[in-house]
Amino acid sequence: MANKTFDAAKENKEDEFYTQISDIEKELAHYREHFKGKTVLCNCDDPRISNFFKYFALKFNELGLKRLISTCYKNQEVDLFTQNDCEKAIWLDYYGNPNDPTCTDFSTVEVKEFKGDGDFRSQECIELLKQADIVVTNPPFSLFREYIAQLIEYKKSFLIIGNQNALTYKEIFSLIKENKIWLGYHSGDMKFVVPDYYAPRNTRFWQDENGRKWRSLGNICWFTNLDIAKRHEELVLYKSYSSDEYPHYENFDAINCDKTSDIPMDYNGVIGVPITFISIYSPDQFEIVGLGIVGSCEFTNERRMEILDKNGLPTGKYTVNAKGTLYRKHLESDKKPAAFKDCETGELYQSIYARILIKRKK
């Protein structure tokens, strides 16, 4: 039975990525003022191995925490690291060690068992969520929408890890546009310990001298609704607008800007910028108008175009409005071949990957 369950686990979504304490320390260093007198919940972490629990337990007195809660989800009959029988889903409730503030041994902290599986959506875990002030964790990437929705529903402050692709989710982008959530300080590559059953994936997967498996993900972000200084640091603009350097989209009233550092200082209309703009976005300086994909903005024409392959050659396949993305005329200076050809005029066009549509406030 154990082997059958273990094999089944391999078919599930890969949601177990164990965060390094160095990455936690690097980000949390910017939020110290938010934690004094607060109850912190790490509700997607096994406190027996979680670096989130370890960080807050070690920093309990330094941060002036009131309480630390950590919960563990278990839905398999075998441990995904050891392949031994799992204990039940558990949680820890830690109030610090007043007798020894420098204590680093947490083995005597009482381990409590859940009646259920410890899923963050269960009523048992929701009751703990209600008692928390701030949630800090690395939630399952496949359940990111649900996880954020729950935090918003219960009006919780949070600092959590997520995939950059989540920025394009309709539900997440709407919250960003409304300034209800934003990105923290560090984005980009992050290395995680993963369970033994995770399959190797190119060069971003390796095994260390202790036999632990690691995976590196290059598109990781910290999502938060805690106000931070970075959010009010305005981008220095130095470039001037020119129609040659900033071509206009054919299906939306906006210009294209390929680098956030090149946003023109003298253009007051809508500008399409890469999605990485969110990492330096200041609501004091810019307004987010929308996301340049179908369903988020209203495209203004319905050109029928032939899809071209990666070499710019005809495929015999056709689309309307460049498959629902922003597009502009193909330029001779473009390094990439054209992506589409107008069926009526023969004009060539470039499709633009998802753009954040913004306007300057000043």
- End-of-domain residue from the set 193, 210, 231: 231
At 188 the three-state DSSP class reads strand
Name the pTM for this structure.
0.84
Q: What six digits make up the tokens of 181?
A: 């959530």
- Domain edge (last residue) among 193, 211, 231: 231
- pLDDT value of residue 175: 96
State residue 241's pLDDT score: 97
Q: Are residues 217 and 285 in the same domain?
A: no
Residue type, 30: H
Residue showing tokens 């253009």: 267
What are the b/e assignments for 267-279, b being 16+ CB within 10 Å?
beebbbbbbbbbb
**Residue 261 domain-assigned?**
yes
DSSP state for residue 87 in the 8-state scheme: P
Number of structural domains (the chain) is 2
Residues 6+ apart with CB under 8 A from 122: 114, 116
Same domain, 202 and 169: yes
Instruction: Give 52's DSSP letter.
Output: H
Could you tell me if 158 and 79 lie in one domain?
A: yes
- What tens-digit pLDDT sequence spans the chain (362 residues)? 333 333 333 344 665 676 888 889 999 999 999 999 999 999 987 777 788 999 999 999 999 999 999 998 875 433 434 433 346 788 999 998 766 666 666 666 888 889 988 899 999 999 999 999 999 999 988 899 999 999 999 999 999 999 988 998 989 999 999 999 999 998 877 777 766 766 766 667 767 777 777 677 778 999 999 999 999 999 999 999 999 999 999 999 999 999 999 999 999 999 999 998 999 999 999 999 999 887 778 888 888 999 999 999 999 999 988 878 899 999 888 889 999 999 999 999 998 878 999 999 97
Residue 32 sits in the same domain as residue 161: yes
* Per-residue model confidence (pLDDT) at position 202: 65
Phi and psi at residue 257, to the nearest 5°? -130, 120
Domain shared by 245 and 202, yes or no? no
Position 79 scores a pLDDT of 42
Q: Do 252 and 185 lie in a common domain?
A: no
Please indicate, yes or no, whether residues 89 and 32 belong to a single structural domain of this protein. Answer: yes
CA Rg, the chain, in Å? 24
In a domain, 109, yes or no: yes
Distance separating alpha carbons of residues 51 and 112, to the nearest angstrom: 19
Tokens at residue 304, please? Answer: 């029928």
Q: Are residues 297 and 196 in the same domain?
A: no
Q: Residue 285: what residue type?
A: Q
Question: At CB < 8 A and 24+ separation, what contacts does 306-313 make?
Answer: 306/340, 306/341, 306/343, 307/339, 307/340, 308/337, 308/338, 308/339, 308/340, 308/341, 308/348, 310/337, 311/337, 312/337, 312/338, 312/348
Please indicate, yes or no, if residue 236 is contained in any of the structural domains.
no
Same domain, 93 and 193: yes
- Looking at the structure, do residues 195 and 260 belong to the same domain, yes or no? no
Position 260 in a domain: yes
Q: Are 307 and 317 in contact (CB under 8 A)?
A: yes
Q: To which H or E segment does residue 90 belong? A: strand 90-94
Predicted confidence at residue 188, as pLDDT, reads 78
Please tell me the predicted confidence (pLDDT) of residue 100. 61
Considering the domain boundaries, does residue 62 fall inside one? yes
Domain end residue (candidates: 231, 256, 277): 231
Would you say residue 184 lies in a domain? yes
- What span, in angstroms and rounded, lies between the C-alpha atoms of 305 and 323? 10
Long-range contacts formed by 108-117: CB under 8 A, 24+ apart = 109/47, 113/87, 113/88, 113/89, 114/71, 114/88, 114/89, 114/90, 116/89, 117/73, 117/74, 117/75, 117/89
Q: Are residues 214 and 277 in the same domain?
A: no
In 3D, which of 152, 192, 166 has the Cα closest to residue 14? 192
Greatest CA separation found in the chain? Answer: 81
What's 193's domain CATH number?
3.40.50
Rounded CA gap, 74 and 116, in Å?
A: 9
Q: Are residues 223 and 246 in the same domain?
A: no
Domain annotation covers residue 300: yes
Residues spanned by the domain of 78: 2-231
Question: Does residue 120 belong to any structural domain of this protein?
Answer: yes
3 state SS of 250: coil
Cα dihedral 261, 277, 288, 351, rounded to 10, equals: 90
